[in-house]
């Protein structure tokens, strides 16, 4: 029974309590569940590989024409924001839609009074709205530019400039303006369809004044060669090489023109043109400003996966955002060409697009227009706002505050190399060069590291000038005393006497390193003979004709010494690849594979020896495989002598002095090639012309061997794949 004094909960209240509990639990779950974004955010590292990054922008709203209080949009092509108004160019319905700050329909401009007739647009594809509300519409299908005031009254009509300036345009040119921009003095910039001479420039009266930003035609060396040897008839039948055209432009308040090139994105797919038409954009980022084309993508014509920019918007503090039609992503770069963040994608979810067409900004918000009739609003996250704040403070000269924000960003995203670079820049301008070097190194910024190191080196030398000067004087004094009193010669003789005293034998039959040896089959004799043969390598590289002759006929070279020289060359190569100074070493040294690096020396040497021996046996060559191998190994000596010192010296040089390293490496390679040429000529007793023919044939033979090896490997992998698929098919039946 129920205890006395207690009250029973009415039965009809139980559903209410259960419902309330469910609502409470649902609210609690929603409060802790993170927002699921339908796309990934990433940046690229120094080596061009994507690395994860926090989300920079999140989709907060997706709207159709009906959501705006207007009719459904039909193939909209452009969007812009002026003040608190949003304007959409609804191309399929030949109209301009004006929205208020809440994205609600205000009006639609569908027609205008043109003299005595009511005129309408013809599938306009681009427009520009000035701060005073003047509309410049690229009326594509009607082959004109329409200028209206804020009330929709006609100000001017600009028709084809080809009529008054036929010499500047192709024959049968039809003026179909697609995109348009206007600078602060009223100059009009027009992208016209099928026009490859650049962007059309009109003055504020609508008169043609020229072109800006004409893309350059790039032809490969092979294409130029075939064009040179073709007949006139073949040239007429060959394909026409045309520069690619622009896809879209945006003119900022300072009069600079941001433009993106149509087609697959290349290194110069994004441009910043001044009024004179010069591209002044800074491209100092780790990867080219070409979207997702920064890494290895398929360039086949039938399956070209590179980014294709469709629109661009200039932003504050030198930032620029571009819209990629290929993957529906928005890439934002800073004024130095560094990639800040990426977001967006292709799909049907909120935040994804099916046919992304245009992009604009409203404050720090980003609006993306889909040609399927959708408008998506993106809001920045705290991560993006921190990046913007850091750029703002740095641009305003507040380096300390900028550094603090960059440091916070490194805690949020350790993969953001730009944050480390930002810290390094701020420290550099504050005079903290050693700390700046550390930050630049973490950010993989070699140019910044070089600048900081140049300052650090300068101040270090100034602070330690006395010790540096005395060290230089002492060095030259020691060199002078060694030369004057023949210290090296005396040391050599003393060491030789000690060796003779320890190892000398009676009834000597051979002498190595000045030591008489009776039994040449002992390890002692082999060791000394190898040392003697290695020492002779220094004679060979300075006296190649006599040296290579003695290697073969006087037996001054041995296979053991050749093996040691080849091993030392491999070690010198690996040492240079691993330990070259940070400024000049662009490898991921933690992933350097010693075996693959060794193979890059060992395999070419063995292929050269094998192919050279195979050819020279048919061309009356006098050298055996052993002779060829020894001569080749001795020819590698300059690489050993130069690679190691260059690697050590690289740690004391700055970026602008890197030409000395390149020069030293080229000297080593040319020296080695010259020794290899002389060694081949002396070993086989060839003339100079025959040696050249033999060397070229050897290189061709190496190429053939590599091709056969690749073909064989491909065939084997295909056979293995076929057998594996056959096994899988049988196993699952």
pLDDT tens track for 156-179: 999 999 888 888 888 888 999 999
Residue 299's pLDDT band (boundaries 50, 70, 90)? low
Spatial distance between the Cα atoms of 574 and 524, rounded to a whole number of angstroms:
30
Q: How far is CA 20 from CA 24, 32, 527, in A?
A: 6, 19, 92
- pLDDT for 6 equals 40
Report the range of poorest mean pLDDT among 144-148, 305-309, 577-581. 305-309
Residue 14's pLDDT band (boundaries 50, 70, 90)? very low
Mean pLDDT for 85-113 is: 95
Residue 253's pLDDT band (boundaries 50, 70, 90)? confident
The tokens describing 325, both together, are: 């039609």
Closest C-alpha among 501, 694, 710 to residue 611: 694
| Comparison of pLDDT for 28 and 480, the residue scoring more | 480
| Comparison of pLDDT for 733 and 353, the residue scoring more | 353
pLDDT in tens, 184-200: 889 999 999 988 888 99
Report the range of poorest mean pLDDT among 146-160, 345-359, 481-495, 629-643. 481-495
Mean pLDDT for 310-315 is: 94
Question: Does residue 648 register a pLDDT over 90?
Answer: yes
Mean pLDDT for 301-330 is: 88
% of the chain at pLDDT higher than 70: 86
- pLDDT for 643 equals 95
Helix, strand or coil, per DSSP, at residue 504: coil
Question: Does residue 489 register a pLDDT over 80?
Answer: no
Question: Does residue 12 register a pLDDT over 50?
Answer: no
What ranges in 305-431 are assigned the alpha helix state H?
382-395, 399-412, 417-429
| Residues forming a β-bridge with 63 | 375
Question: Does residue 77 register a pLDDT over 70?
Answer: yes
Question: Does residue 81 register a pLDDT over 90?
Answer: yes
- pLDDT for 293 equals 63
How would DSSP label each residue in 525-583? HHHHHHHHHHHHHHHHHHSHHHHHHHHHHS----HHHHHHHHHHHHHHHHHHHHHS-TT
Residue 63's pLDDT band (boundaries 50, 70, 90)? very high
Spatial distance between the Cα atoms of 134 and 155, rounded to a whole number of angstroms:
9
A 10 A CB-CB count for 612 gives 28
- pLDDT for 584 equals 93
This prediction has a pTM of 0.79
- pLDDT for 243 equals 61
Mean pLDDT for 487-499 is: 73
Residue 16's pLDDT band (boundaries 50, 70, 90)? very low
Residue 555's pLDDT band (boundaries 50, 70, 90)? confident
- pLDDT for 7 equals 42
- pLDDT for 398 equals 87
Mean pLDDT for 606-633 is: 92
Find how far residue 350's CA is from the centre of its chain. 31
Question: Does residue 298 register a pLDDT over 60?
Answer: no
- pLDDT for 295 equals 55
Start-end of CATH 2.120.10.30 domains in the chain: 72-216
Find how far residue 702's CA is from the centre of its chain. 31
Mean pLDDT for 533-551 is: 92
In the CATH hierarchy, which fold is given to the domain comprising 72-216?
Neuraminidase (2.120.10)
Question: Does residue 500 register a pLDDT over 80?
Answer: no
- pLDDT for 218 equals 61
Question: Does residue 551 register a pLDDT over 60?
Answer: yes
Q: How far is CA 476 from CA 292, 469, 480, 485, 501, in A?
A: 55, 11, 6, 14, 35
Mean pLDDT for 581-610 is: 91
Residue 505's pLDDT band (boundaries 50, 70, 90)? low
Top mean pLDDT of 6-20, 246-260, 712-726 is at 246-260
Helix, strand or coil, per DSSP, at residue 324: strand
pLDDT in tens, 556-570: 889 999 999 999 999
- pLDDT for 733 equals 64
A 10 A CB-CB count for 89 gives 26
- pLDDT for 13 equals 45
- pLDDT for 699 equals 92
pLDDT in tens, 408-427: 999 999 888 989 988 998 88
Q: pLDDT averaged over the chain?
A: 86
The tokens describing 85, both together, are: 């108004």
Mean pLDDT for 132-149 is: 94
Q: How far is CA 329 from CA 30, 377, 561, in A?
A: 28, 14, 59
% of the chain at pLDDT higher than 90: 55
A 10 A CB-CB count for 23 gives 10
pLDDT in tens, 371-404: 999 999 999 999 999 999 999 998 888 888 888 9
Classify each residue of 618-635 as buried b or exposed e, where b means 16 or more C-beta atoms within 10 Å of its C-beta: eeebebeeebbbbbbbbb
Mean pLDDT for 219-223 is: 59
Residue 464's pLDDT band (boundaries 50, 70, 90)? confident
Question: Does residue 449 register a pLDDT over 50?
Answer: yes
Mean pLDDT for 293-299 is: 56
Question: Does residue 294 register a pLDDT over 80?
Answer: no
Residue 109's pLDDT band (boundaries 50, 70, 90)? very high
């Amino acid at each position: 029974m129920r205890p006395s004094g207690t009250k029973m909960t009415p039965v009809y209240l139980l559903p209410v309590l259960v419902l309330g509990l469910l609502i409470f639990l649902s609210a609690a779950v929603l409060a802790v569940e993170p927002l699921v974004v339908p796309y990934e955010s990433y940046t690229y590292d120094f080596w061009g590989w994507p690395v994860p990054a926090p989300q920079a922008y999140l989709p907060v709203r997706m709207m159709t024409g009906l959501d705006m209080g207007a009719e459904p949009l039909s193939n909209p092509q452009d969007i812009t924001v002026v003040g608190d108004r949003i304007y959409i160019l609804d191309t399929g319905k030949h109209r301009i839609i004006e929205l208020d700050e809440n994205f609600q329909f205000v009006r639609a401009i569908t027609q205008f009074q043109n003299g005595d007739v009511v005129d309408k647009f013809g599938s306009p594809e681009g427009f520009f709205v000035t701060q005073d509300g003047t509309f410049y519409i690229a009326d594509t299908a009607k082959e004109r530019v329409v200028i209206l005031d804020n009330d929709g009254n006609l100000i001017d009509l600009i028709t084809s400039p080809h009529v008054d300036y036929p010499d500047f345009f192709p024959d049968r040119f039809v003026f179909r303006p697609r995109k348009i921009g206007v600078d602060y003095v009223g100059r009009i910039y027009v992208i016209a369809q099928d026009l490859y001479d650049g962007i059309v420039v009109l003055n504020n009266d609508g008169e043609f004044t020229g072109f800006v930003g004409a893309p350059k035609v790039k032809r490969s060396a092979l294409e130029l060669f075939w064009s040179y040897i073709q007949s006139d008839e073949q040239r007429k039948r060959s394909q026409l090489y045309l520069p690619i055209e622009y896809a879209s432009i945006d003119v900022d308040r300072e009069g600079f023109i941001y433009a993106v090139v149509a087609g697959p994105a290349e290194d110069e797919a994004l441009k910043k043109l001044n009024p004179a038409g010069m591209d002044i954009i800074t491209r100092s980022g780790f990867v080219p400003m070409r979207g997702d084309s920064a890494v290895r993508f398929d360039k086949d014509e039938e399956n070209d996966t590179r980014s294709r920019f469709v629109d661009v918007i200039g932003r504050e503090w030198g930032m620029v955002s571009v819209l990629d039609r290929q993957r529906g992503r928005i890439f934002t770069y800073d004024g130095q060409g560094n990639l800040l963040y990426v977001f967006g994608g292709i799909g049907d979810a909120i935040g994804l697009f099916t046919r992304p067409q245009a992009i604009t900004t409203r404050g720090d918000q980003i609006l993306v227009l889909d040609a399927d009739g959708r408008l998506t609003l993106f809001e920045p996250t705290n991560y993006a706002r921190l990046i913007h704040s850091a750029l703002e403070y740095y641009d305003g000269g507040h380096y300390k505050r900028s550094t603090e924000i960059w440091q916070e960003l490194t805690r949020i995203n350790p993969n953001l190399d730009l944050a480390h670079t930002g810290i390094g820049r701020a420290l550099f301008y504050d005079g903290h060069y050693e700390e700046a070097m550390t930050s630049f190194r973490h950010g993989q910024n070699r140019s910044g590291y070089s600048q900081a190191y140049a300052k650090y080196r300068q101040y270090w030398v100034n602070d330690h000038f006395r010790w540096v000067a005395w060290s230089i004087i002492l060095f030259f004094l020691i060199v002078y005393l060694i030369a004057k009193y023949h210290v090296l010669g005396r040391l050599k003789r003393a060491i030789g006497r000690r060796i003779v005293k320890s190892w000398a034998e009676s009834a000597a039959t051979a002498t190595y390193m000045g030591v008489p040896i009776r039994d040449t089959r002992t390890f002692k004799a082999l060791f000394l003979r190898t040392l003697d043969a290695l020492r002779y390598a220094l004679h060979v590289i300075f006296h190649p004709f006599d040296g290579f002759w003695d290697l073969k006929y006087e037996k001054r070279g041995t296979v053991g010494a050749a093996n040691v020289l080849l091993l030392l060359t491999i070690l010198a190569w690996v040492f240079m690849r691993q330990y070259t100074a940070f400024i000049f070493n662009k490898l991921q040294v933690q992933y350097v594979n010693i075996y693959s690096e060794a193979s890059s020396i060992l395999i070419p040497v063995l292929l050269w020896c094998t192919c050279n021996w195979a050819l020279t046996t048919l061309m009356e060559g006098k050298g055996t495989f052993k002779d060829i191998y020894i001569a080749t190994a001795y020819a590698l000596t300059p690489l050993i002598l130069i690679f190691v010192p260059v690697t050590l010296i690289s740690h004391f040089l700055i970026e602008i002095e890197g030409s000395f390293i390149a020069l030293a490496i080229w000297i080593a390679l040319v020296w080695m090639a010259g020794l290899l040429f002389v060694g081949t000529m002396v070993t086989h007793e060839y003339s100079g012309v025959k040696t050249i023919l033999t060397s070229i044939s050897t290189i061709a033979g190496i190429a053939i061997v590599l091709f056969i090896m690749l073909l064989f490997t491909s065939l084997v992998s295909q056979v293995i794949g076929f057998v594996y698929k056959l096994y899988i098919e049988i196993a699952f039946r």
